Amino acid sequence: MRYVIHIIIIFWPICLKAQTINYEQIALNHFMEKIFDLKYKKVKAIEFSGFTEKVLTKARYGNDCFDDSSRIRMSLIRNAEDKIVPMKKIEISSNYNINIKGINMRNSKRFKLRITCVNHLVNNSYVGIEMLKLNSHIDTFLIEIDKKGNILRWCETGAVF
């Protein structure tokens, strides 16, 4: 029994370091806590698949929105190159006063929430969050996260299709 305890004590720090940071969940939590209430206060229901998007596409990085975003945007585009990535399960906490529905591609009148997989650059990581509005307008939010999982900054752009 004593040996088991010693092994756990030795390997516990290694196991803690091996856990990966869920950047997409951190970005979604920040979006719901800080941005959603600010920008979409009257929205009572949204559609969300519960997963990240499976394509890390260059189209998702919108216009430049950070002061240094031309450089960041070009790096994100080069890094993405329309890669197919595994979808990750993402959950919206029940603490938010919002009704979550599955994605309905036909005749839906609800906002749709989409989250891209994390795109890692040298120093920081970036997660894109999109809110598809009813009038073919998309609000795109780019959230910058450091290696420890702390939100550094975010910015917003939009597009009409």
Mark 26-49 as b/e (b = at least 16 C-beta within 10 Å): bbbbbbbeebbeeebeeeeebbbb
Q: What is the pLDDT of residue 14?
A: 45
How confident is residue 86, by pLDDT bands cut at 50, 70 and 90? confident
- Burial (CB < 10 A; 0-12, 13-18, 19+), residue 54, is middle
Model confidence pLDDT, tens digit, residues 107-148: 677 889 999 888 888 888 888 898 888 777 888 888 999 999
Q: 0.85 exceeded by the pTM?
A: no
Q: What is the pLDDT of residue 15?
A: 44
Q: What is the pLDDT of residue 20?
A: 82
Q: Determine the straight-line distance between the first and last CA of the chain, rounded to whole angstroms.
A: 65
Tokens of 123: 């120093």
